[in-house]
Structure 1
C-alpha cells in the first residue's frame, strides 16, 4: 500500500488541499485528507495530483494510427498523461471497418484501449473534413448493426450526421447497443439536431468544427447541442480548431464539456507527410492539413496540452481538469477511470505549477513522462 501525498489532490470532482491518494497494486483504496495509516508515505510536494487523462477521440500518435500500431499510439499519449484512450476510426468501406473493429476489440477487452469510436462513414459530404467523400453513405441499419456487433461491446461511440436518411433509426440502435451516438460532420438544421437528441444523441463530435456555424435565424446544430443538458460537447483546444477565447467562453457556462485531441499519427512527432485513413496529410508547424488543401486533418495535440491551453485562455483549472478526466469518463460510461475513488484504477498525473504533466502513474506504476 502506498500513500501519495500532495499539496493539492484533484479527485475528478473537487480539489483537496492538501490531499492524499492511497493505492494498492493497480487500484485506488482511498482519497481524502492526509491521515495516519498503513503503507509507505510518498510526499510529492507542492504539486497537483489528478486522475489520469481520458481522451474520448483520437486517431493515433507517435507516428502511427491506431490501425497501424495501437499500442505505440497509446504509449505516446500515455507519456503525456492520457492513461485511457479511445481509438477513433475514419471513414472506410464497411468491410474495412469491420476488419479494423475486430482487430482492435481484443485490445479494448485487455484494457489497453478504452474503446473504439466510429467516426464515419455516415457523415455529410458538405462537412466531410478529412473523410473520403466517395465512401460516405446513409446509415443502413444492417450495416450499422454489423459494425456494432463486430465490436461485441467495444464500440463505445459512433458519430453520425442527423440529416442522413435512416439516421434516427440508426441512432436508436447505436444506443440500444450500449454506445454513445454523437452528432458530427453534419449539415443538419436546429430542428433535425433536436430530433436526433430526442432519438438518443448524447455527444457532439468536436463542437463547432465540421458543422454549420451559429447564425441568428438558422442556429443549426450548435445551439441544439449546447443547450441540451443530455449532451456532452467535445472541444479541440489546440489554437487551430477553435479560438481559445471561444473555448474558454463555452467552458465558462456549459458544465458538460469534454476536451479531446482528435489527434492523428503525427501527434508527438516532427512535421512531415502522413496518412489519415486513405488521405495524404501534410503537417507543417504542427498543423495537419489534407495534402494540397487548407482542410484540417485532425490535430497533433496531446491532452496535457489541451488542459494547459484551456487554463491559459482563462478557464478555471478545476473546470479544465474535469473536462479531461471525469467528464470524458462519464460521457463514455467508463466507471473505473477519470476519478479517484475506492476501486477505480490507479492512474494519475503529477502536475507542476504551470499545469504541465511531470509524472504519470499507470495502473499503479510510474511511467516515463514527456513534457509537451
Structure 2
C-alpha cells in the first residue's frame, strides 16, 4: 500500500481558477452562496451575496465511489482499457475518485485485473505529473469483492469462491493496489486473513454472507481493533432483519465503526431502509453504484463476470431474475437520495465525505481550504454541469470513445 498515498504539491502546477455558486460545505445543513479559488488544491473560499444574474448552481466535492465494477461498456475484469473506459463514463457523472471493483472469477483472472488496476494508477500518476488534463476519475485502487465469500450468497458473482490462505492474501497485497475487500465471516481462515489485510491498511467489508447476526457481530468485534470496517452493499446478498433474527444488517448497523454501502438505485434498497441506515449511522452511510459495464449503455443485453445480464427499464438481472449489479451513476444516486428526503448537504456527504473517511483519505471529500480541488457543479435539477479533478476541468471525450 506504500505507493498509493497522495501528497500536496505532487504533479505539475496550473493557474488558479474561480467558481461561484451555492457551496455545499462540510457539516452544513444548507448550501451557502460563495466563491472558490483553486488550483490543484482549494486555495480559498468566501461567502458572497447571492447574484441574481447567474443561474442557480451547486458546487459539491467530487463523488467518491468505493464500489464500481464497470460502465460505458468497460469492466475492471477487462484490464487496462476496461478500467479506463469505466473511469471516463463515471467521471462524466461527477465521480472524481473510485475503487475499480473485481468480481469472483478464476484466481488468475482476478490477479490479472489487480495488475491492470495498478497499471492504470501508475499511468494516471504519470499523466498528473506531466500536467495532462484528466479524461476520467482517479483510480485510487481496487475493491476486491470475492472470492473470499459464501458460495451460498453469490448474488450475481461467478461460482469460483476460495478460502483465504496466507499465500493468496500475500499475493493480493503484492499487487499494491487493494484498498478495500469484501469478506464473509463464516469462510474458513477468514480471521487470520483479516489480520493480514488490516496490517496493510485494507478496509474490510462484510458481505455476500450466510452468517447470522451473532456470527457477524462476533466477527466485527474481532476486526474492530484492527482497522476500517464497512458493509458491502448493505441489505443485499445477506439476510434481513426480523424481531428475533437481527441478521447481518442488524449487527452491521449497530456497530459504531461500520461504514455501510448503499446501492440507492431504487431497485436494490427500499427508501425506508435507507432511512433506517441514516438513523443508525448518521455520519457513515455511503452511496455507491455497484455499476456494471452496462451503465450508460441503455437497455439491452450485457455481461457481468462471465454471466449474461439483461437490462430492462434500468434493472439489470441474470437469466433467473437475480439482480446483477446496477446501471447506477453517482449523480443519479444523489438525486435519488434527495428525492427520498435526504437534505442535499447530507446526500453530498454520503457521496463524498463518508467514503473518503472510510478509506482513510484526508486530502479530499469536502469543500475545504487545503483539500484537493475535486469538484462537481450541478444545476438546479442536480444534473452535472462541470467536473474538476485535481483542479483541472475534465477533458472532452475523444471521438469514438466513451
| TM-score (norm. length: structure 2) | 0.84
1:350 aligns to what?
A: 377
CA contact (8 A) 1:244 1:309 kept: no
- 1:256-275 mapped onto 2 (5 Å cutoff): 256-275=284-303
User: Residues 144, 186 of structure 1: CA spacing in aligned structure 2 closer, same or farther, 3 A cutoff?
Assistant: same
1:67 aligns to what?
A: 77
Aligned match for 2:140, one of 88, 104, 114:
114
- Counterpart Cα distance in 2 of 1:65 and 1:335: 28
2:241 aligns to what?
A: 214
1:19 aligns with 2:19: no
User: Residues 217, 248 of structure 1: CA spacing in aligned structure 2 closer, same or farther, 3 A cutoff?
Assistant: closer
Larger deviation, residues 355-364 vs 96-105 = 355-364
1:40 aligns to what?
A: none
1:97 aligns to what?
A: 110
1:49 is displaced (CA, Å) by 0.7
- 1:169-318 mapped onto 2 (5 Å cutoff): 169-200=192-223, 202-255=229-282, 256-290=284-318, 292-318=319-345
CA contact (8 A) 1:48 1:351 kept: yes
- Counterpart Cα distance in 2 of 1:55 and 1:219: 28
- Counterpart Cα distance in 2 of 1:252 and 1:352: 29
1:139 aligns to what?
A: 164
1:129 aligns to what?
A: 155
CA contact (8 A) 2:103 2:158 kept: no
- Counterpart Cα distance in 1 of 2:178 and 2:349: 23
2:66 aligns to what?
A: 56
CA contact (8 A) 1:52 1:84 kept: yes
1:39 aligns to what?
A: none
Larger deviation, residues 26-35 vs 250-259 = 26-35
1:333 aligns with 2:383: no
1:328 is displaced (CA, Å) by 0.5
Alignment deviations for residues 316-342 of structure 1 (CA, whole Å, 9 cap, x no partner): 222111000111111112222211233
Q: Count residues in correspondence.
A: 357
1:3 aligns to what?
A: 18
- Counterpart Cα distance in 2 of 1:332 and 1:241: 24
CA contact (8 A) 1:171 1:199 kept: no
- Structure 2: unaligned runs, 5 residues or longer: 1-15, 126-137, 398-402
1:11 is displaced (CA, Å) by 2.8
CA contact (8 A) 1:171 1:196 kept: no
Specify the SS of the correspondent of 1:20: strand
- Structure 1: unaligned runs, 5 residues or longer: 36-42
